[in-house]
Amino acid sequence: MAKFENKKVLILERKSHLGGYTNEVRKQGSYIWEAGIQAVGQIEENSINRLIFNFITNDSLGWTRLPDVYSRLVYPDFIFEIEKGEENFRKDLIIMFPQEEEKISAYFRDVKIAAKWFNRNRAITTAPLNKKRTQISTDSIEKIALSTLAEYLDANFINPKLKALLASNWIACGLLPSEAAFAIHAATLNHYFEGAYYPLGGSKEISETMILPVIQKGGMVLTNHSVGEIIVENGKAVGVKSNEIRIGEKIQRNYYSDIIISNIGARQTFSKLIPEFIDEQTKKEISEFTEEPVTVTLYLALHSDPREMGFGAENIWIYKTYNHEENYRLNSQLTEGRCGALMLSFPSLKLKNTQKHTAMIAVLGNLQDFRNWITRPHKNKEISKRALSGDISNTILDLVESRFSGFRKMIGFQDLSLPINLDTGEYIGGNIFGFPAIPKKFKVKWLHPETPLQNFYITGSDISGHGVVGGMLSGVVTLNSIMNVPISVFRVFRDSKQK
């Protein structure tokens, strides 16, 4: 908005830093971790996504390529490396499971068409309300896209190890194979087929470079400002009430604007900011979506170089069993000493920070697990809280150690971050995936930038898709609803640049 119409933009962020999950975490001086970005796909030079990033950051966001092998999947008795290039991925699977060759090839074709279907669905669903929306017909592609991942795999494959391997990205989709629409699985897998990238200088560069045009045009960023209410006058949104949170006190401040956009997640927006504008049918449909999973993150400062143990800048996914439903069931009992699946990465190897090595482990868990812990009787809650952090960290490290013996010896300092305030029960994480991408999500009529309240819009993971690219595209799509700036505008820029 700052760049297209010279708008003065005010960004209100409840945390002490901008950027949501793209923020970086610094502890103990110069140890650095990423909060939620390990790899970003589909930003090859000259791609439309790269062009949009360049445009909205005044060409100041750079990218570095991660190694060709960007993911290692670690199962109980084998490790599978995903290498850049769809064809490499396909061939490696066929070498391992030659008897299912034909089905594997068909699977890659289905992934491609379901990923395309996903993009088409999001484009149609999120197009401006005043432009005609064509319904996607119920054809054979939609049937594949809207089957669950588990249904697809069970119908096409025999070997349970192969099925588990193909479903490995359930963590990146935030949904179990039995629940995830094949479309979200396909879109997420397809996202990395051409390889993975990482922001030059670290993930914090994403928000730091994006606010440049905002500041240039006289806009502002206010951190420690939590928005709790929308100010409505004559049926239109005209401002927000926010609490500025300073040590020990909350100061209420109102801000006024003719356009207000919420990026706190559609569920939070509908239920907390504008519940009185949401009709009963929509509320009922919303209540049918289960709660999104949350992440528990363990930050590790290492006193030796992880490359000595064979690690690199790739991301490592460790699964306790071949059954992902069981793996998530275990993750949902972290507070009871169980862990079934995790993602391990080494930010220092991506940042080329050879002095201060770091590792980060993320586990997809369940808020209810922590709520249960909070309601349990504790002799001394403070002591229990401290013990809980230590116990969860140990549980997580046990799973890593079981696959990479000696890992613990590298650890100098560790810190666990929970998604919930253990005193109040309040969720303190962000909006990772948006509403869970179950098949039903692709049919609802209310997940688009416009809301029932005039001048009030939604953006973020719920609109175009999750992840850095999904979030960025959501911004563009919301802009289109407000100011009629379609993605095709950026295509014109790209084509004129290439001439």
Ligand X SMILES: Cc1cc2nc3c(=O)[nH]c(=O)nc-3n(C[C@H](O)[C@H](O)[C@H](O)COP(=O)(O)OP(=O)(O)OC[C@H]3O[C@@H](n4cnc5c(N)ncnc54)[C@H](O)[C@@H]3O)c2cc1C
Under the rule (CB under 6 A), what is the footprint of ligand X? Answer: 12-15, 20-22, 36-40, 226-227, 263-264, 295, 297, 362, 430-432, 460-461, 466-468, 471
- In the numeric block, which tokens belong to residue 351? 């940042």
Instruction: Tell the smallest beta-carbon distance from residue 91 to ligand X (Å).
Output: 25
Residues 6+ apart with CB under 8 A from 163: 153, 154, 157, 322
**Among all chains, which residue has been given the structure tokens 């069931």?**
329
The residue among 97, 74, 293, 87 whose CA lies nearest residue 168 is 74
For residue 129, the Cα-to-chain-centroid distance in whole angstroms is 26
DSSP per-residue codes, 274-302: SGGGS-HHHHHHHHTSPPPPEEEEEEEEE
**In whole angstroms, how far apart are CA 475 and each of 53, 443, 478?**
11, 21, 5
Instruction: Tell the smallest beta-carbon distance from residue 33 to ligand X (Å).
Output: 10
Residues 6+ apart with CB under 8 A from 447: 125, 126, 266, 435, 441, 462, 463
The residue among 108, 140, 137 whose CA lies nearest residue 124 is 137
Instruction: Tell the smallest beta-carbon distance from residue 297 to ligand X (Å).
Output: 6
Instruction: Tell the smallest beta-carbon distance from residue 400 to ligand X (Å).
Output: 15
Nearest to ligand X of 263, 478 (CB atom): 263
Instruction: Tell the smallest beta-carbon distance from residue 493 to ligand X (Å).
Output: 23
Nearest to ligand X of 202, 467 (CB atom): 467
CA distance 91 to 185: 20
Nearest to ligand X of 211, 264 (CB atom): 264
Instruction: Tell the smallest beta-carbon distance from residue 13 to ligand X (Å).
Output: 5
Instruction: Tell the smallest beta-carbon distance from residue 21 to ligand X (Å).
Output: 3
Instruction: Tell the smallest beta-carbon distance from residue 283 to ligand X (Å).
Output: 20
Nearest to ligand X of 222, 238 (CB atom): 222
Give, as one character, the DSSP assignment of residue 66. Answer: P
The residue among 50, 76, 71, 75 whose CA lies nearest residue 61 is 50
Instruction: Tell the smallest beta-carbon distance from residue 183 to ligand X (Å).
Output: 17
- In the numeric block, which tokens belong to residue 224? 């420690």
Residues 6+ apart with CB under 8 A from 123: none
Nearest to ligand X of 163, 191 (CB atom): 191
Residues 6+ apart with CB under 8 A from 357: 301, 302, 303, 304, 305, 306, 346, 348, 349, 410
Instruction: Tell the smallest beta-carbon distance from residue 94 to ligand X (Å).
Output: 27
Nearest to ligand X of 195, 471 (CB atom): 471
Residues 6+ apart with CB under 8 A from 483: 1, 4, 5
Nearest to ligand X of 148, 315 (CB atom): 315
Pairing of strands 341-345, 358-365: antiparallel
Nearest to ligand X of 324, 466 (CB atom): 466
Nearest to ligand X of 297, 358 (CB atom): 297
Nearest to ligand X of 345, 480 (CB atom): 345
CA distance 358 to 305: 9
Residues 6+ apart with CB under 8 A from 74: 316, 317, 318, 319, 403
